[in-house]
Structure 1
Amino acid sequence: MPGHFTNRSAGKVSRRGLVFLLTLLCALVGPLAGGREARAFDVELRSPFAPCRADCTATLFAGQLVETSMWEIFLTKHQGPWDWRWGSSTFVGGAFSREVVRFDRFASIETEVGVGKRFGSLHEGEGWGALYFRWKWFPWDEYLRTTVGISIGLNYATGVPAFESRRAGVEGQNLLHYLSPELTFGLPSRPDLDLIFRFHHRSGGDLPFFNRAGGGVQYGTVGLRYRW
């Protein structure tokens, strides 16, 4: 019956929402329950020109073109990679990053510069500079180190393919915003290595100084990160 189906769906949504809220609560409040030492919270500024102290990273990653919009993936339809529309282009990129602000063991701000090349149906090069805001503390870190990061920055492409102009609905441009969320995972025994999953994405965000371009070229990528 329609009414019965609606109630069951609402129940599922409520349970999912409760699980999400409880997980978020554990992640944010959990450290405060760890005693006096865990409650100490320090903000440390780090010079980008000082010798590296386990705060420098080099990352190599590669992936395939994603034609499903970021809006659908993360906001409206919450689609997993198995539901994405994949294109016929691949991307290989590399980046150097440096942690410049550390909020104790919980979070950090990093600078990043990177370059990459498209292959297949697209062939342009890319370069970008960005700030990454990263949350680094989760209750299961002693078993699997986990971080979540999101960037704000600029991405320059050597050309504007017809694919990008069609998606934007306006004439595209070389310089766009760089918004690339990522997840990282690593073993506690290897703090120098991480497996990363990055949604490499450039777009104009419908902003006037980006010619009101919407979604741009984007890739679902996987890679390795080395820290020293």
Structure 2
Amino acid sequence: MSPMNVWKHRCAVAAAGFLLAAPATHAGAGESNWRAPVPDDRLYAVTIFMGEGTENNFSNVIENFFDVEGSTDHVLGLTASRLLGWYGRSLSFEAELMYAYHYGREIYHEVGTAAYARWHDFPWNRYLLTTMAVGMGPSYTTEFPQLERQPDGSRSRLLNQFNLQASFALPAYPETALVARLQHRSGMFGAFNGVTDASNFLTLGLRYEF
């Protein structure tokens, strides 16, 4: 495995481990930490986002988040998600459907679905409600994007999306949040027709829960 893929794998494992490390102290003896949504939960959310692609690979984006090389590729996307349940009081799970319109260097469409784990417990939530989420699932494009070209010519319209997301909302308006989202497509270390790191888009958006 190349150094880049080793780093990417470690990043994915660390992110998943962080989000799945919900404390088990909220349940009594013999009581499960998992619970289904209740009437007080906001079950649904829609997010609109837009942003620009980058020529940097995934690991370079993470390491140099504020100093990446932009491209002429742009995206405008819309997602709809549904809360599936909670583990403890801090970790929620949701399912998402996504449509994205890509434009700039070329025009094509992308559809995908993903499962998300979202962490809600931050010490400054009294002043700024914050969540961090990791999502993964299949993504399909109607073209072979030039941004995803591989040195050996490998290509695939169907790839895996691995997305990192942070949301920020005022306590007085918890249902409306500003969202920063890293939209990443890859071939899962070559599992999809030999494709490795494919494309990365840095985006901002608005999320509304209801």
Q: TM-score, normalised by structure 1?
A: 0.75
User: Match for 2:36: what amino acid?
Assistant: L
Question: Percent identity among equivalent residues?
Answer: 27
What is the Cα deviation at residue 123 of structure 1? 1.1
Residue equivalent to 1:128: 112
SS at match of 2:122: coil
Distance in 1 (CA, whole Å) between partners of 2:152 and 2:45 is 37
**Are the aligned partners of 2:84 and 2:94 in contact in 1 as well (CA < 8 Å)?**
yes
Aligned residue pair count: 186
Higher relative contact order (CA 8 A, sep 6+): 2
Distance in 1 (CA, whole Å) between partners of 2:128 and 2:144 is 40
**Larger helix percent:** 1
Q: Runs in 1 of length 4+ with deviation above 4 angstroms? A: none
The equivalences for 1:76-225 within 5 A come to 78-81=63-66, 83-166=67-150, 169-208=152-191, 210-225=192-207
What is the Cα deviation at residue 52 of structure 1? 9.0
Distance in 1 (CA, whole Å) between partners of 2:200 and 2:107 is 13
**Are the aligned partners of 1:170 and 1:212 in contact in 2 as well (CA < 8 Å)?**
no
Distance in 2 (CA, whole Å) between partners of 1:148 and 1:161 is 28
Question: What do the CA deviations read for 1:128-184 (whole angstroms, capped 9, x no partner)?
Answer: 000011111001111111111011100000010233123x63321110001010111
**Are the aligned partners of 2:56 and 2:200 in contact in 1 as well (CA < 8 Å)?**
no
**Are the aligned partners of 2:111 and 2:140 in contact in 1 as well (CA < 8 Å)?**
yes
* Structure 1 residues 206 and 138: alpha-carbon distance in aligned structure 2, compared to 1, 3 A threshold: same
Residue equivalent to 2:50: 62
The equivalences for 1:18-97 within 5 A come to 40-41=26-27, 42-46=33-37, 53-74=41-62, 78-81=63-66, 83-97=67-81
SS at match of 2:60: helix
For the pair shown, which has the larger CA radius of gyration, 1 or 2? 1
Question: What do the CA deviations read for 1:69-122 (whole angstroms, capped 9, x no partner)?
Answer: 112222xxx1122x1000012100000001102123301111000101111103
SS at match of 1:73: helix
Residue equivalent to 1:18: none
* Structure 1 residues 52 and 155: alpha-carbon distance in aligned structure 2, compared to 1, 3 A threshold: farther
Q: Runs of 5+ in structure 2 lacking a partner?
A: 1-17, 28-32
